[in-house]
Structure 1
């Protein structure tokens, strides 16, 4: 009798373990290297390039102002002795004020560029997250993890890495939206 009870308990344990193993095997997971995904994303590259160009344009204007200021400062030093102490003090205060204004203008320019590019990148990241969510639903994934700078996965088999697939699809989708935007421009030219 004891053997029958023991045998039935072992059988139940094996059956329940088998069910747990089957349940685990049915879970479909993957991961995406989020850093790599953004590095390879064409839209992210375009945003980066756009703000690089914008920064260079704004920087040119600021450098021209700074150059004029430096010329005035050099001229001030040459004329200070000849024009007297009262003139030197007044002109020195004016130059100091302009130097502060240039610094504030540079700081404001950098802040504006950071805010604008930050908004666009945040919007891109949100669209990527939405895309990954839809991709997961469409392809029957139970979990898609993110790795990279803010790692939420410490280890995963490379077979579960779908970064390249997602990156390619996002870039193809972005190319498609670029063509749609270019078509109205070309029609307007005609």
Structure 2
């Protein structure tokens, strides 16, 4: 009898001690970062801003290029009549102006790319920080990113929070924009 009680106690203690903590379910989700940046209003406005700036720069250069082209056409028509010395001098001048136009175009493009790059990098950092804070607030263990630089090769669509993230970011941005408008109106 003692052996049965001892065996039962031993079995009970083994069962009681074998309580390994059950693996908690990880709360995971993923975001299609390309789609997020396409649908995020602040990113759309940033893209539109630099598209407009690029178009303005193109128009400025286009006027100068048209004037230069007209002068080159005139030069070709007048070269025979005004002589070789004039043609050489005017040809060198036009070539120099054409090079200057190309340098100006390259400089404007570089400036536009640098400005756009800085603002885009800043926006990406802000979105990453927001996702990090959002993940902590909502109790996620992992939030993965998909898109151009995919880090997730497969995930069930049930874990996709791209739409939710876009909605929250746009609401936050809309609130920020309204606050900025009110402060500008007060000035």
Query: TM-score of the superposition, structure 2-length normalised?
Result: 0.88
Q: Secondary structure at the match of 2:117?
A: helix
Matched pairs, number: 174
Corresponding residue of 2:124: 125
Deviation per CA, 1:127-179: give whole Å up to 9, x if none.
00000000010011111000011010111111111111111000111111100
Deviation per CA, 1:2-54: give whole Å up to 9, x if none.
xxxxxx9xx99xx78xx58x41x521111100000000010010001111111
Q: Secondary structure at the match of 1:149?
A: coil
Q: Secondary structure at the match of 1:144?
A: strand
Q: Secondary structure at the match of 1:151?
A: coil
Q: Where does 1:163-178 land on structure 2 (aligned, <5 Å)? A: 163-178=162-177
Corresponding residue of 2:42: 43
Structure 2 alignment gaps of length 5 or more: 1-10
Corresponding residue of 2:71: 72
Structure 1 alignment gaps of length 5 or more: 1-7
Deviation per CA, 1:92-130: give whole Å up to 9, x if none.
001001111111111111111111011111100000000
Q: Where does 1:73-88 land on structure 2 (aligned, <5 Å)? A: 73-88=72-87
Corresponding residue of 2:92: 93
Misfit runs of 4+, over 6 Å: none
Deviation at 1:58, TM superposition (A): 1.4
RMSD across aligned C-alpha pairs, in angstroms?
1.8
Q: Residues of 1 paired with 2:30 and 2:159: CA distance?
A: 6
Deviation at 1:186, TM superposition (A): 1.5
Query: TM-score of the superposition, structure 1-length normalised?
Result: 0.87
Residue 158 (structure 2) pairs with residue 159 (structure 1):
yes
Deviation per CA, 1:69-114: give whole Å up to 9, x if none.
0111011011100000011001000100111111111111111111
